């Protein structure tokens, strides 16, 4: 097991990519603190890890609240005596016309969760890793590489995460704290389930046509999977990537090459 004895905190661990990351890190021997706004969902992830023979705990937290983030970081250190890996998966996504009446509200909420939340979690992670180093893995998106219509708040937040990643990586490289981010393409998650209809409306197609349309534009001919994501997370969390920091890695099947 490549992460035996390490401790990992994973946000958004109650479902989707976050849950997949928490389970994969645990399979590789890491102690896992599953963090989610929905505490019951986080506990279910932790319980699944424990049933499989791993060590895990859960915490409910709004990652846009500093006190909540610092509390879960302290819990990770208290439960497992260290903090070595932090994976920032939690986020929100809203498809909305730029001139919509509630666009400011969506903008503020998206920035609060996606960008401020990642910022606060990185602060907590760095504080927990000073003196021994560690790996912080942020999640941007292919929409953090190229802006798309009716996605202004989401794209801006994901571009911001890339800049945040580079800045923290440069500042704490001497402390052996590595900070990288993953830019996935389209992956079927609960988040996508909620916005397929909005995307179809934007493109003037039926909901049933959305995923086939995506596949047509991916050179490798398929959508990204949880396995694809967790393979890269494991690489970035392990010593195999010890010479990498400040990077924004595409995971798009060739659909995004910049």
Catalytic residues: 154
The first and second tokens of residue 30, run together, are 């890491």
Beta-sheet strand order (sheet of 177-184): 56-60, 31-36, 7-11, 85-88, 134-139, 177-184, 248-251
* CA-wise closest residue to 145 among 165, 159, 131: 159
Within the chain, what is the greatest distance between any pair of CA atoms? 54
For 56, the 3-state DSSP assignment is strand
Q: CB of 35 within 8 A of CB of 10?
A: yes
Please state the length of the chain: 258
The first and second tokens of residue 254, run together, are 């060739």
Neighbouring CB atoms inside 10 A of 167's CB total 13
Helices 16-27 and 39-51: angle between axes, nearest 10 degrees = 30
Residue 50 CB partners (closer than 8 Å, separation 6+): 56
Q: CB of 196 within 8 A of CB of 229?
A: no
Q: CB of 57 within 8 A of CB of 46?
A: yes
């Amino acid at each position: 097991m490549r992460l035996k004895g390490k401790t990992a905190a994973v946000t958004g661990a109650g479902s989707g990519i976050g849950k997949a990351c928490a389970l994969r890190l645990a399979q590789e021997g890491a102690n896992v603190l599953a963090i989610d706004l929905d505490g019951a969902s986080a506990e279910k992830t932790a319980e699944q890890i424990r049933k499989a023979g791993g060590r895990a705990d859960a915490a409910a937290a709004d990652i846009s609240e500093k006190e909540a983030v610092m509390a879960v970081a302290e819990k990770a250190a208290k439960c497992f005596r260290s903090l070595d890996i932090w994976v920032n998966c939690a986020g929100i996504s809203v498809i909305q016309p730029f001139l919509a009446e509630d666009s400011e509200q969506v903008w503020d909420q998206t920035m609060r969760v996606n960008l401020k939340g990642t910022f606060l979690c990185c602060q907590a992670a760095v504080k927990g890793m000073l003196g021994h180093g560690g790996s912080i893995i942020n999640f941007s998106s292919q929409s953090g590489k190229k802006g798309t219509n009716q996605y202004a708040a989401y794209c801006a937040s994901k571009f911001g995460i890339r800049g945040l990643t580079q800045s923290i990586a440069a500042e704490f490289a001497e402390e052996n704290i590595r900070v990288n981010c993953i830019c996935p393409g389209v992956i079927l998650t609960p988040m996508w389930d909620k916005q397929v209809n909005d995307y179809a409306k934007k493109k003037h197609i039926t909901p049933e046509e959305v995923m086939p349309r995506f596949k047509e534009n991916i050179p490798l001919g398929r959508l990204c999977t949880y396995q694809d994501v967790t393979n890269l997370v494991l690489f970035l969390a392990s010593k195999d990537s010890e010479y990498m920091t400040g990077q924004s890695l595409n995971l798009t099947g060739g659909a995004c090459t910049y």
